[in-house]
Amino acid sequence: MMGKYEEVLKNIYGVFNGAAWKDLNINTQPENYKGITTETIVVTPLFTGGSFPGTASSSISGVIMIDIFVEANKGPLRAHQIAGALDLLLVEKSIVATSGNVTQLLRSSLASIGLDAANKTLYRYSYSIPFNHFGAN
């Protein structure tokens, strides 16, 4: 039996291993990835809350933070295209784990962050989408 944190990670990262996302050919890395030199997204699930009142102890809430790195000095269009693709994949979707527990994704937001501190040839945007994970035990 896996814990709620591991189950949520597997649910979220599993979406990016699917054909619908891979067909877009966008370099996708998990959190703690270093050395970004080209267009890339970095996916970081954050766990922000405990169980909800009236739910199992294996329920949790959080937010998926996705850093979008695109070529600097090219305007915002590419980052917005990637955010749109993320919306199609994630917004208001439910991911059912093999245990039957469900990770429900809500609505997204996008913010311009600026030039990447580590690589000035890249511009960074922050895409975020809250989630609720409902455990059964």
pLDDT tens digit sequence for 11-53: 999 999 999 999 999 999 999 888 899 999 999 999 987 655 5
Query: How big, in percent rounded to 5, are the helix, strand and coil portions of the chain?
Result: 25, 40, 40
Q: Which two tokens stand for residue 32?
A: 């703690």
Beta-strand ranges (E) seen in 72-117 are: 94-96, 102-105, 109-115
In contact, 131 and 64? CB cutoff 8 Å: yes
pTM of the model: 0.92
Q: Which domains does the chain have, with CATH numbers?
A: 4-134 (3.30.2000.20)
Question: What is residue 19's three-state secondary structure?
Answer: helix
Neighbours of 13 (CB within 10 A): 14
